[in-house]
Structure 1
Amino acid sequence: MQYNDISYQTDGRIARITLDRPERLNAISMDMPGEIADAVARANKDDDVHVIVLTGAGRAFCSGYDLVEFAEEEGEKPGSQLGDSHGGPWDPMLDFYGMFQNTQNFMSLWKSYKPTIARVQGPAVAGGSDIALACDMVIMADEAVIGYPPARVWGCPTTAMWVYRLGAEKAKRMLLTGDLVSGPEAVELGLVLESVPQEKLDERVDALAARMAGVPKNQLMMQKLMINQAYENMGLNNTQMFATLFDGITRHSPEGVWFKQRAEEVGFKQAVRERDSGQPIAEGVSRPLSPYKSGK
């Protein structure tokens, strides 16, 4: 496969996948999720590879879905299906079909028979956090940040890995605020494995990868399958199905439609500032009477 938005190389027993759109802070394009899955499959088929390291080019790990492509440009776009080409209503199953494929592409890192390490040297936000948290282990630079700001409006993390890494209360703390946390804060929460100074990041990631690379592939595979099965028994796939459906709803709720319209009108950066300002949004958005207000 010829890659447009990632690069792939091997170094002895280590395969390295790099999200490679540095001019867009490695924002997720239409092609990137499938390219990640293809590169993971390629590494799994390579008998010489024992470990996969995933990182981003430039100063960011991944800034999430490219909001210029998906939100700012006018008209119907994947992820903002305001009616099909025939003028019909939003089809939640059509939305689910596309987004769940992206979810599965990201989860190829989790399901990989060979262990995966996310090297997070810069922001891993929104869909970028989905990608990082789908890896078996995450090593962050102290200065890097991770979080899911679209939890405020226009998103639900489709991989749902927050709850499986943090537990209910800490996952709610992150997803009911949309806050970003630094590397040390992420370690304290239990979200990622380690945080190190930026200048020590490559040394630590390479040392961990090399340590695992010395283990036979069949041993790595068995240990990983055993641990992952425990999460499958907890309903991981079912949770991701709900999360992906809810993600579609968040993008087509009254507030979600407002966000898309504001991104078209004033650009996504200003729309994000308004979304995250803490002030009421979407004035004039019509909605039925809330059951909370009616006392029902």
Structure 2
Amino acid sequence: MPRVLYEKDGRIARITLNRPDVLNAIDDELPRELADAVARANGDRDVHVIMLAGAGRAFCAGYDLAYYAEANGTGNITQDMPWDPMQDYQFMKGNTELFMSLWRSYRPVICKIHGFAVAGGSDIALCSDIVLMEDTAEIGYMPTRVWGCPTTAMWVYRLGAERAKRMLLTGDRITGSEAERLGLIYRAVPSATLDAEAEALAERMVTIPINQLMMQKLVINQAYENMGLETTQMMATVFDGITRHSPEGINFKRRAEEVGWKQAVQERDQGCYDWTKNQPFNHDPR
């Protein structure tokens, strides 16, 4: 079964993450199939706009921790020591570039978030041009608590320094309504109107010539590129590898192997586990 579905609907290319049984979690193949779908849309002179969504109950649950944390996938993202940081960088930078196919797409990308877009799923969503969310859907990058750093660095470019720190120094999840208030996304709407809002925006864009759409997007993106986006992503991707090979990161993976990734993630997100000492907190951590 394809990890990513592609459908052409008039002047709109519809790209859908398609691993609904695992909430569209990211494995080795999904990023490549996503970039291939974006390239297909960009190669079609009839397509003016890309609509990105997720199948099933959520947009994307991030990296598939059953695949990467409980048992390594082919990416082998936690190596035996001593680890080779450049081997890790090559793999993760490759995924970052595939996510960034949305950012670099010559066709504007509208992303619809339902359920949640968390961890690596938020990386994908925030590489899009315009994000609409259900007002009750959730977005966040919980692995900043341990075992991750958002490699696309889009949080800071969308939020600015202080609000990005508020999110990445806590690893909190926020609702679509809060994400709109902070300026992380364009708009949050009730679940019942999400599709209609996205369609109305796309229909407004498809009446514009492709060359006009390309020029406006390239100019806006270039302003961010000039701020050092590529350099920031390089540092973030290196740091992401370090988080998984630090003592705390290795303890997190061992914990996931011992008790399963769901319990390890719950302990991480609730702040009830001391990853430095590799044991639950037996007192108030303050």
TM-score (norm 1): 0.91
Match of 2:84 in 1: 91
- Post-superposition Cα deviations, 1:99-154, rounded to whole Å, max 9, x if no partner, equal 00100000000000110011101110000000000000000011210000000000
Match of 1:211 in 2: 204
For residues 205-284 of structure 1, the aligned pairs below 5 Å read 205-282=198-275, 284=277
Aligned equivalent of 2:48, options 47, 50, 55: 50
Paired residue secondary structure (2:133): strand
Aligned partners of 1:282 and 1:166: how far apart in 2? 29
Match of 2:61 in 1: 63
Aligned equivalent of 2:13, options 12, 15, 22: 15
Give the length in aligned residue pairs: 278
Aligned partners of 1:134 and 1:123: how far apart in 2? 16
- Post-superposition Cα deviations, 1:149-188, rounded to whole Å, max 9, x if no partner, equal 0000000000000000000000000000000000100000
| 238-247 or 71-80: bigger deviation | 71-80
Please say if 1:29 is aligned against 2:27: yes
Q: Could you tell me how far 1:273 is from its partner in structure 2?
A: 1.4
Structure 1: segments with no counterpart, 5+ residues: 84-88, 286-296
| 270-279 or 225-234: bigger deviation | 270-279
Residue pair 2:4, 2:18 contacting (<8 A) in 1 also? yes
Paired residue secondary structure (2:131): strand
Match of 2:122 in 1: 129
CA RMSD of aligned residues (A): 1.3
Residue pair 2:252, 2:264 contacting (<8 A) in 1 also? yes
Q: Percent of aligned positions with the same letter in both sequences? A: 64
Match of 2:147 in 1: 154
Matching residue's letter, 2:77: G
Residue pair 1:4, 1:31 contacting (<8 A) in 2 also? no
Structure 2: segments with no counterpart, 5+ residues: 279-286
- Post-superposition Cα deviations, 1:220-274, rounded to whole Å, max 9, x if no partner, equal 0000000000001000000000000000000111110001001111000111111
Residue pair 2:67, 2:73 contacting (<8 A) in 1 also? no
Match of 2:160 in 1: 167
Residue pair 1:65, 1:127 contacting (<8 A) in 2 also? yes
- Post-superposition Cα deviations, 1:174-218, rounded to whole Å, max 9, x if no partner, equal 000000000100000000000010010000000001111110000
Describe the shift of the 1:221–1:228 C-alpha distance in structure 2 as closer, same or farther (beyond 3 A): same
Match of 2:283 in 1: none
Match of 2:94 in 1: 101
Match of 1:290 in 2: none
